[in-house]
Amino acid sequence: MNYGYVKVAACVPSVKVAHCKYNAQQIEKEILIADGKGVEIIAFPELSLTAYTCGDLFGQQLLIEEAEMALIQILGNTRQTDIIAIVGMPLPVGGVLLNAAVVIQRGKVLGVVPKTYLPNYKEFYEKRWFASATEVRATQVRLCGQLAPMGTDLLFETSGTTFGIELCEDVWAVIPPSSRLALEGAEIIFNLSASDESIGKHNYLCSLISQQSARCLSGYVLASSGFGESTTDVVFAGNGLIYENGHCLAHSQRFSLEPQTVISEIDVERLRTERRVNTTFAACGATLRGETPYRRVTTEYVNPKELTLTRSYDPHPFVPQGPTLDERCEEIFSIQTNGLAQRLVHTHAKSAVVGISGGLDSTLALLVCARTFDRLGWSRKGIIGVTMPGFGTTDRTYRNAMNLMKSLGITIREVSIREACLQHFADLGHDPSVHDVVYENSQARERTQLLMDIANQTWGMVIGTGDLSELALGWATYNGDHMSMYGVNGSVPKTLVRHLVKWVAEHGVDEESKATLLDIVDTPISPELIPANEKGEITQVTEDLVGPYELHDFFLYYFMRCGFRPSKVYWLAKQAFRGSYDDETIKKWLSTFCRRFFNQQFKRSCLPDGPKVGSLSISPRGDWRMPSDACSDAWLKEVEEME
């Protein structure tokens, strides 16, 4: 099963100006190599059969004939391959010359797409040699003894995708042809280019391709001329770029003296999901009503090959790498503080009440409160941190909670819940030596009751601490830590909470607070509802009970954000976590995720307000609306049948 992936390639072959036979041999070689690697569609640069820099030689009949003979050579020598190739050549049609992309497969010319927008640069005045597609009325062309459809309105359909083509300058236009191609159904755009290099141009090009692929919700493959083109006035760097919905999957090495082919897999299934849920895309498509529909060209059936991914998947999709992580943390923290500031001002709250456990989530909520009060110009004494030691509280977490509250300069209250819970157990007739769900949840609800009442005492509001990962798994006591008056962490995944706390430690607090924060970051995640061991250490480790959060965050991202089925999520997880978890472990926790995600929806259906910080939220008022009694059988059955 290929899970909707289409393997594509952008090739920058060796080229000699006006030496069509040599160029054809190089293209043939690259086609055969790519076919052997399972590539389904490969694109070559603009005018790759002749080279782009032929200048006034494009007016020579011999060059035009040599280009067609070269194409015949390629057709004959690749007749036995399944791969679809897109090559560039000058093509005479009706008394004019077109700069064209020719799509070939199994010895056949499937279609021809001429260039629409011709550059009017000092170094490249294409209108000197070529006519625009808009100047040609013909819809068919005879090429290599075959009659093939021609036009900018061609869509090519394979067994796995539909693709369209534009050439170089086309994508720089105000409304690129690829925009209409995407609305007509093209899921991948191929661009045959010959863009020369100048200072800053490469970054602009990458930005342009990224934006266009994101705007079109498509894959985008660009192959641009490289070494071998004339350097009389300009230099070509040989750009091979593969993008998917704004993200770069693969790129060539610029200024290489050797031919290059970059290969990756475009996830067409994900693109289709994105288009289905993006109402703006559908609305744009509706503007095409009344216009002549694009013509569809069916390609030959390709025998499916076993898929081997060349693209990689980050095991932590919510956590960017490098300098971007600091930028992400700063932006999230700002969103959280702005959201809380608005709520505090609007409600005329006199205080913010936070339960402080010495764990990651309550620490992040407290840091958000501190920053918010600072920005509002309010005294931090208006933040009431409440530590509520219980049966499972350890010295380490208690010490960290107290130290952090002291160093941040907030109001500290300590209320032990032990006696209240023992009285509650007596009222219920529950044996406190039985550490069951009653024992655990009673503590969580007692803490929430205290926080709510303290908020009433101080004319304040309770700030929720639960994070996105906990909400996805339902790892919260209903009407216990599940409830608050404003939840600042509700759309922050657990794998990112740790980095946020660490970021604040390194960028926004004093040295004393920093030491405490870093120790909290290193503390095992636990609700601390079960008594500690003889050494006073945590015995109830959350990830031992529900599974590693890094796995669950991976499952959550691809289940919710991408709409993937369990078998695809499992397949990707096996590759992303290779060497960290074995297949059985991944399958076990994926089953847990699917079961808990469905069964715990009732907790998410009544969540308090809270700010969305990323592309994914689980709020019932926003990103995720699912009945609490939705059936999970199909998902669990697929997990059970996975190998």
Catalytic residue status for 115 = yes
- Adjacency order of strands within the sheet including 188-193: 247-251, 240-244, 219-224, 188-193, 162-167, 154-157, 295-298
Of the candidates 535, 537, 505, the one whose C-alpha atom is nearest the C-alpha of residue 523 is 537
How many Å apart are CA 536 and CA 393, to the nearest integer? 9
CB under 8 A, 24+ apart: contacts of 169-177: 169/115, 169/117, 169/118, 169/119, 169/126, 170/115, 170/116, 170/117, 171/208, 171/209, 171/212, 171/222, 172/117, 172/208, 173/116, 173/117, 176/212, 177/116, 177/152
Of the candidates 409, 62, 85, 30, the one whose C-alpha atom is nearest the C-alpha of residue 238 is 30
Other CB atoms within 10 Å distance of the CB of residue 42? 27
Q: Which of 46, 68, 126, 446 is catalytic?
A: 46
Q: How far is CA 470 from CA 364, 585, 604, 618, in A?
A: 15, 20, 10, 11
Residue 262 three-state SS = strand
How many Å apart are CA 549 and CA 373, to the nearest integer? 31
Instruction: Classify strands 108-114 and 96-105 as parallel, antiparallel or unpaired.
Output: antiparallel
Catalytic residue status for 638 = no
Q: Which of 11, 40, 66, 115 is catalytic?
A: 115
Give me the amino acid identity at 79: R
Please report, to the nearest 10 degrees, the dihedral formed by the alpha carbons of residues 129, 135, 138, 141 taken in order: 20
Q: What are the residues whose beta carbons fall under 8 Å from the beta carbon of 200, sequence distance 6 or more?
A: none
Residues making up the chain, counted from first to last: 643
Structure tokens at 531: 């008594």
Catalytic residue status for 168 = yes
Q: Is 507 left (phi over 0), alpha (psi -120 to 50) or beta?
A: alpha
How many Å apart are CA 192 and CA 47, to the nearest integer? 8
Other CB atoms within 10 Å distance of the CB of residue 389? 17
Q: Which of 20, 168, 329, 594 is catalytic?
A: 168
What crossing angle do the helices spanning 511-521 and 395-408 adopt, rounded to 10°? 150
Other CB atoms within 10 Å distance of the CB of residue 277? 10
How many Å apart are CA 19 and CA 404, to the nearest integer? 73
The answer to whether the beta carbons of residues 367 and 388 sit under 8 Å apart is no
How many Å apart are CA 130 and CA 99, to the nearest integer? 6
Of the candidates 444, 447, 489, the one whose C-alpha atom is nearest the C-alpha of residue 467 is 489
Structure tokens at 70: 């070269």
Residue 555 three-state SS = helix
Q: What are the residues whose beta carbons fall under 8 Å from the beta carbon of 481, sequence distance 6 or more?
A: 355, 444, 447, 448, 464, 465, 466, 527
Of the candidates 151, 169, 162, 164, the one whose C-alpha atom is nearest the C-alpha of residue 86 is 164
The answer to whether the beta carbons of residues 602 and 479 sit under 8 Å apart is no
- Adjacency order of strands within the sheet including 41-43: 108-114, 96-105, 84-93, 41-43, 5-12, 260-267
Other CB atoms within 10 Å distance of the CB of residue 585? 15
Residue 149 three-state SS = strand
Catalytic residues: 46, 115, 168
